[in-house]
């Protein structure tokens, strides 16, 4: 199984979970999810919304559950291939 931090969370920008975490951590804490999302995805699509929004909340709470993020990414990938 691929390491959760190295999984691609956003196909549009080809960003890994680790990169997304770093971007969220460097962003202004007052930034809304919608604006912080654009820093990661570089687009307005909603294809990675579930794992990315969950990760955004986890970073804000400083409690990242990589296993949960990995499951959400796998579910997203299954949904997108149907």
The answer to whether the Cα torsion of 61, 66, 67, 68 is positive or negative is: positive
pTM of the model: 0.90
- Count CB atoms within 10 A of the CB of residue 63: 8
Report pLDDT for 79.
Answer: 82
Residue 1: pLDDT over 60: no
- Count CB atoms within 10 A of the CB of residue 45: 12
Sequence length of the chain is 82
Query: What's the pLDDT tens digit per position in 27-79?
Result: 999 999 999 999 999 998 888 999 999 999 999 999 999 999 999 999 998 88
Report pLDDT for 2.
Answer: 54
Query: What's the pLDDT tens digit per position in 12-22?
Result: 999 999 999 99
């Amino acid at each position: 199984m691929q390491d959760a931090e190295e999984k691609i969370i956003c196909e549009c920008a080809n960003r890994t979970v680790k990169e997304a975490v770093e971007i969220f951590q460097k962003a202004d804490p007052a930034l809304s999810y919608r604006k912080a999302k654009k820093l990661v995805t570089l687009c307005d699509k909603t294809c990675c919304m579930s794992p990315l929004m969950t990760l955004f909340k986890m970073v804000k709470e400083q409690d990242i559950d990589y296993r949960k993020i990995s499951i959400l990414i796998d579910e997203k990938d299954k949904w997108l291939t149907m």
